[in-house]
Structure 1
Amino acid sequence: MPVRTSQSSQGSRGKGMGLGLALASALAFGGSGVAAKPLIEAGLDPLHVVWLRVAGAALVMLPLAVRHRALLRRRPALLAGFGLLGVAGVQAFYFASISRIPVGVALLVEYLAPALVLGWVRFVQRRPVTRAAALGVVLAVGGLACVVEVWAGLGFDALGLLLALGAACCQVGYFVLSDQGSDAADEAPDPLGVIAYGLLVGAAVLTVVARPWSMDWAVLADSADMNGTPVAAALLLSWIVLIATVVAYVTGVVSVRRLSPQVAGVVACLEAVIATVLAWILLGEHLSAPQIIGGAVVLLGAFIAQSSAPSKGSPEPVASGGAERELSAPDHAR
């Protein structure tokens, strides 16, 4: 007689696999800055590294774009917004920022995005937000003050911090855009198709902005220095394209289908921790005790801001933007 597996045990295994995939996604995304910074220090312009990343990933995801070509007619605004903001904008600002400030600091500044989304909802759309969400904003801003050491007159490059803030603002723009039409239910676009077309749009935009024909291609044939250890530039680029972009996005999307968007978003907060630890080990970028504590507070604030959103259709005050509802994916954009 065949043994029947209960629905509860199947659900537990599904959630366990979802958590594993979410952790894998956070690890993959967290490693993008650590792999990109040596290439930038070896002589590549940050925009050129972003172009290589996006264009390479777009080629890998091209079959998915062909499969979901109907999205071009159904959701052109969403695809353009994802490509311009969620791909080109966020990554260009982020990579430019890590050329001037530590990877962990840049990513923690970017985690102000959930707090900025709440500011947009409250003061631009004039919709109420929950008290828990407001507390998350206060914690995130206070933690960031510790990360950048405001008492020391900003311990980091001011332009680098502004560039990281620009990455956070691009995420806000993407969240707000994605909220349009989030009530589509079964008509919601397939997230893998949106990612594929977002990469294609981002690659096209970055080709005009970055002008890759002026890139020093010889850097890719050489090695880059990773805290005193030479690493093949081609290997670092392969990690950025295949692991930190393609695998990271796909595992993130699959994980959220096995978990709730809120749970997947909370696990995604580990990306900042992973990036900081990797930068500490591989790049020698050490953070002080107040900065580590401030980073933990930033993540706590982001966690509260993301997880305090009421269920869809609830009359309660909103607490976050709609990117998770629209794409059914965590708020990754690195």
Structure 2
Amino acid sequence: MGVERSGKGAGLALAVLSAVAFGGSGVAAKPLIEAGLDPLEVVWLRITGAALVLLPVAWRHRGLVRERPLVLLGFGVFAVAGVQAAYFAAISRIPVGVAMLVEYLAPALVLGWVRFVQRRPVTRAAALGVVLAVTGLACVVEFWSGLGFDPLGLLLAFAAACCQVAYFVLADHGSDGGRKAPDPLGVISFGLLVGCLTMTVVARPWGMDRAVLAGTVDMDGEPVRAWVLMAWIVLVATVLAYVTGVVSVRRLSPAVAGVVACVEAVVAAAAAWLLLGERLGAVQIAGGVLVLVGALVAQSSTPAAAAPEPVAGGGGAVAAAAEPGTRAGERQEA
């Protein structure tokens, strides 16, 4: 990008930490859901807790409400509430690793948006990455056997991928050409507030079984205090993950930070295997590898000079690649 970035070693470490933090959210949430909490209630607890922690940041950047109201609204509804609600609902029906890998179909969808909606050319490497990712996804869900997983769960995971696309588009429009891009921390903090309000209407948490949070839940046969898992989700898988993700992007190029963020899918699948006993077959593991390779190939083709400063967000980060002269959105998931 023509600008020397300092602290690349620390930036790389922060990017890995962010991906690991995001990747553990599903594993911590699933036992809570299986214990009786609705997936939407878990999302509400996660977003509300993180919004309260980052409330001082939102106050510091309160000018964004006047400057970028639509960006904050869209970011909160889709990139925060939408992606997390769809993902958590998906993992209540299908394995965590499968849900995460389906969500990584987002790069293909973003490239489709760039090519057919914005009518911009895309690189051959990016197109190859999409082909690899879609092929790997077909192996993960074993479509030849009539879908080995719950169809609604797969649809919800796909909805999470679509919400990631909304994030990419909003991040791109947030730059507005010559206008100064909004501060990522400000967008995140207000996005969490908007997401909290949205999920309050949708989840109606006043009917929540609060006794679940006061007790223990089962994690692959081992009892774990529910509040410990919830604290992990709020403080580590949301607040820490968002903040370290933003700082890492500031120290690295957006493309490099996004590539490192692909570790999130690996962490999610491995953690679900180790902590929840969710086993994947050899073909599914190979498919997962193809999904990640496809994401890496697509993102590594992003020209450094064309990549904008991203708005960092929740749940995993994969960037779509465009030819020089175009732009690509980039994000960090729940």
Same fold (TM over 0.5): yes
CA distance in 2, matches of 1:155, 1:163: 15
* Match among 55, 70, 83 for residue 76 of structure 2: 83
**Is 1:133 matched with 2:139?**
no
Please report how far the alpha carbon of residue 311 of structure 1 lies from its aligned counterpart in structure 2 after TM superposition: 3.6
Change over 3 Å in CA distance of 1:249–1:313 after alignment to 2:
closer
Cα displacement (A) at 1:307: 2.0
The CA distance in 1 between the partners of 2:291 and 2:176, in whole Å, is 30
Structure 1, residues 259-314: CA drift from partner, whole Å, max 9, x if none? 11111100100000011111101000011111111101001111122221224459
Alpha-carbon separation, structure 2, partners of 1:186 and 1:206: 31
Structure-2 residue corresponding to 1:304 = 297
Give the C-alpha shift of residue 41 in structure 1. Answer: 0.1
Say if 1:176 and 1:321, in contact at 8 Å, map to a contact too.
no
Secondary structure of the 1:187 match is coil
Alpha carbons of structure 1 residues 244 and 322: separation in structure 2 relative to 1, 3 Å: same
In 2, Cα distance between equivalents of 1:83 and 1:307: 28
Counterpart position of 1:230: 223
Q: CA deviation at 1:102?
A: 0.5
- Asked if the contact 1:86/1:171 (under 8 Å) is kept, the reply is yes
Query: In structure 2, which of residues 241, 244, 254 is the aligned counterpart of residue 261 of structure 1?
Result: 254
Once the two structures are TM-superposed, the CA of residue 244 in structure 1 deviates from its matched residue by 0.2
Report SS of the residue matched to 1:224.
strand
What are the within-5 Å matches in structure 2 for residues 54-93 of structure 1?
54-93=47-86
The residue matched to 2:173 in structure 1 has which SS?
Answer: coil
Q: Is the 8 A contact 2:306 2:327 kept in 1?
A: no
Of the structure 1 ranges 35-44 and 115-124, higher mean CA displacement relative to structure 2 is found in 115-124
Partner Cα distance (1:39, 1:27) in 2: 20
TM-score when normalising by structure 1: 0.91
Tell whether the 8 Å contact from 1:56 to 1:241 is kept in structure 2 after alignment: yes
Cα displacement (A) at 1:333: 2.3
Paired residues of 1:306 and 1:319 also in contact (CA < 8 A): no
Give SS of 1:109's match: helix
Q: Does 1:193 align with 2:186?
A: yes
Matches of 1:148 and 1:120 in 2, distance apart? 24
- Alpha-carbon contact 2:71-2:174 (below 8 Å) kept: no
2:282 and 2:291 mapped to 1: Cα distance?
14
For 1:136 and 1:320, locate their aligned partners in 2 and report how far apart those are by CA, in whole Å: 18
Change (3 A) 1:87 1:201: same
**Alignment of 1:94 onto 2:87:** yes
Contact kept? 1:90, 1:171, Cα under 8 Å: yes
The answer as to whether partners of 2:18 and 2:241 remain within 8 angstroms in 1 is yes
Please state how far the C-alpha of 1:229 moved relative to its aligned partner. Answer: 0.3
Matched, 1:17 2:10: yes
Q: Which amino acid aligns with 1:27?
A: V
- Which of residues 324, 329, 334 is equivalent to 1:323? 329
State, as a whole percentage, how many aligned pairs show the same letter: 71
Indicate conservation of the 8 Å contact 1:118/1:320, yes or no: no
**Paired residues of 1:117 and 1:321 also in contact (CA < 8 A):** no
Higher deviation after alignment, 233-242 or 177-186? 177-186
Report deviation, 1:206: 0.3
Contact 2:255–2:304 (8 Å) recurs in 1: no
Runs of at least 5 residues in structure 1 that lack an aligned partner in the other structure: 1-7, 325-330
Residues 104-148 of structure 1, C-alpha deviations (whole Å, 9 max, x = no match): 100000011111000111112222111111111111100000000
User: Where do residues 105-254 of structure 1 align in structure 2 (5 Å cutoff)?
Assistant: 105-184=98-177, 187-254=180-247
Offset at residue 332 of structure 1 (A): 2.0
**d(CA) in 2 for partners of 1:185 and 1:283?**
48
CA contact (8 A) 2:12 2:248 kept: yes
Q: Distance in 1 between matches of 2:164 and 2:287?
A: 21
Question: CA deviation digits over 1:143-174, x for unaligned, max 9?
Answer: 00000011211111111000000000011012
CA distance in structure 2 between the partners assigned to 1:282 and 1:207 by the alignment: 30
Partner of 1:287 in structure 2? 280
